[in-house]
């Protein structure tokens, strides 16, 4: 595979992994996550006060993941064919605050679904293209560190945004409102501001190091020509993704378990703080994981991360099976979730870059995102429906079993 192209500022020299493009993408992602992760952390409580059941949350999150995943495939193909990546990334970031506004206006699940679909369409549009820009701004020997830093910066926004969101939600409870949904709406409207700043940050700070068009690229032909080992890798990723439910369901689980003893608003705040703790773990773990992967290889660490994902689901089932709102158990679930997401988000992309050619990198990232998102759509929808129709124990237990199967398949590929 050809060497990655360096950032413009370092062309002709040994490229530094922390250059303007990597740093700019990290700042942009932090602002973007500030915007939409604030919604993620308060959405389950918002749905609770609106009377929307767990099955609807699973379907909303699953549908949003599915839209993002298929958008990733198309955007990656278009970018590889035309060579215009930065403009598409800017459009993707602009759609996130627009979706937030729809959610803030919602009085029921239809507008919530529309808002989440718009936001996640933007997320799917920008994701593989931004990752391709970052990967080609550094050398192949420093990809783990660059992606680890990027994911850590990304998650800083996912920590600060929800933390401030929970704080503002608590303050808003002291004001006089016409209904219990109004404090949630206030937080949603405020989250639009960092979403708009993300667009400006990417425009000003990020250089696209490679914009060579490939007009002869054909969609299905390019898919068929992807390396066989990469296709097997996508199979393992997809199997794991069939159990990798949206962590909004973890927040909802904590909210439901804590509500009998704390009330719904206080329970939503504690559940939101647990999710913030998950994101803090992800921030702290992302760069060390990336640096470790640069030394020993990304694939073995990704297997370990998938095992932690299965443990997260099993412990969530255990929390409902015991029937007790144990804060230590809930905290352990969110900590382990933070660790496995740090591994997954930092290393799935670096493994992909090791397996494919640079001229189809964005499309390969799109394929990765499509497999992940399609699988997560099924996972979130199934876990939510099994939770509502049978029990949360069975829903999370099935998810854990499938995630374990994905880890085993990936381990065989590593061998």
Question: Mean pLDDT over residues 89-111, rounded?
Answer: 87
Q: What is the pLDDT of residue 16?
A: 74
Lowest mean pLDDT among 3-7, 268-272, 398-402: 3-7
Report the percent of the chain where pLDDT is more than 70.
Answer: 91
pLDDT band for position 220 (cuts 50, 70, 90):
low
CA distances to 172, 242, 415 from 409, in Å: 48, 13, 10
Pick the residue with more confidence: 313 or 324?
313
Question: Which DSSP category does 119 fall into?
Answer: H
Lowest mean pLDDT among 3-12, 169-178, 203-212, 376-385: 3-12
The span from the CA of 346 to the CA of 145, in Å, is 9
Q: What is the pLDDT of residue 11?
A: 44
pLDDT band for position 243 (cuts 50, 70, 90):
very high
Lowest mean pLDDT among 89-98, 261-270, 316-325: 261-270
What's the whole-model pTM score? 0.68
Question: Which DSSP category does 13 fall into?
Answer: S
**Mean residue pLDDT across the chain:** 82
Cα–Cα–Cα angle for 266, 267, 268, rounded to 5 degrees? 90
CATH class label, 16-211+227-414: mainly alpha
The span from the CA of 115 to the CA of 118, in Å, is 5
For the stretch 284-299, pLDDT in tens is: 888 888 888 888 888 8
Rg, the chain, Cα only = 20
DSSP output for 185-197: HHHHHHTHHHHHH
Q: What is the pLDDT of residue 8?
A: 43
8 A C-beta contact, residue 136 and residue 11: no
pLDDT band for position 404 (cuts 50, 70, 90):
very high
Element (H, E) at 92: helix 86-105
8 A C-beta contact, residue 272 and residue 41: yes
Q: What is the pLDDT of residue 212?
A: 58
- Greatest mean pLDDT among 36-50, 73-87, 335-349 lies in 335-349
User: What is the residue extent of each domain of the chain?
Assistant: 16-211+227-414
Q: What is the pLDDT of residue 7?
A: 46
Question: Mean pLDDT over residues 395-413, rounded?
Answer: 94
Pick the residue with more confidence: 76 or 161?
161
Collect all residues with Cβ–Cβ distance below 8 Å to 78 and sequence separation of at least 6: 84, 88
Q: Which residue has the tokens 């032909």?
A: 221
Q: What is the pLDDT of residue 222?
A: 65
For the stretch 354-398, pLDDT in tens is: 888 776 777 787 788 778 877 877 888 888 889 888 899 999 999
8 A C-beta contact, residue 406 and residue 237: yes
Q: Which residue has the tokens 């949360």?
A: 392
The span from the CA of 344 to the CA of 335, in Å, is 14
């Amino acid at each position: 595979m050809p060497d990655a192209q360096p950032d413009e500022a370092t062309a002709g020299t040994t490229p530094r992994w922390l250059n303007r493009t990597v740093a700019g993408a990290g700042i942009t992602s932090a602002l973007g996550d500030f915007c939409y992760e604030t919604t993620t952390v308060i959405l389950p409580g918002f749905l609770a006060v609106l009377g929307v059941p767990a099955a609807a949350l699973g379907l909303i999150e699953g549908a949003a993941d599915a839209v993002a995943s298929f958008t990733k495939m198309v955007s990656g193909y278009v970018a590889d064919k035309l060579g215009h990546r930065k403009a598409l990334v800017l459009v993707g970031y602009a759609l996130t605050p627009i979706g937030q506004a729809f959610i803030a206006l919602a009085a029921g699940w239809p507008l919530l679904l529309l808002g989440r679909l718009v936001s996640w369409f933007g997320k799917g549009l920008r994701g593989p293209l931004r990752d391709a820009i970052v990967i080609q701004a550094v050398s192949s020997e420093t990809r783990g560190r660059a992606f680890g830093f990027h994911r850590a910066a990304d998650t800083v926004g996912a920590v600060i945004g929800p933390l401030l969101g929970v704080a503002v939600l608590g303050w808003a409870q002291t004001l006089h409102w016409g209904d219990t949904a109004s404090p949630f709406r206030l937080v949603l409207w405020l989250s639009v501001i960092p979403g708009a700043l993300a667009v400006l940050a990417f425009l000003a700070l990020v250089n696209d190091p490679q914009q060579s068009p490939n007009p002869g690229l054909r969609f299905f032909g390019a898919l068929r020509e992807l390396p066989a080992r990469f296709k097997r890798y996508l199979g393992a990723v997809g199997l794991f993704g069939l159990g990798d439910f949206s962590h909004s369901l973890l927040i909802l689980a904590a909210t439901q378990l804590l509500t009998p003893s704390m009330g719904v608003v206080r329970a939503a705040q504690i559940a939101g703080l647990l999710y913030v703790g998950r994101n803090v773990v992800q921030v702290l773990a992302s760069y060390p994981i990336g640096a470790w992967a640069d030394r020993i290889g990304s694939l073995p660490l990704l297997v370990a991360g998938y095992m932690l994902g299965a443990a997260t689901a099993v412990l969530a089932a255990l929390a409902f099976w015991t029937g007790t709102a144990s804060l230590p158990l809930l905290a352990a679930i969110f900590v382990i979730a933070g660790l496995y997401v740090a591994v997954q988000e930092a290393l799935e992309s670096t493994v992909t870059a090791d397996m494919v050619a640079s001229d189809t990198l964005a499309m390969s990232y799109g394929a990765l995102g499509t497999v992940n998102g399609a699988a997560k759509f099924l996972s979130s929808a199934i876990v939510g429906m099994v939770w509502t129709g049978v029990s949360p124990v069975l829903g999370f237990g099935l998810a854990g079993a499938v995630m374990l199967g994905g880890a085993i398949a990936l381990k065989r590929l590593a061998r």
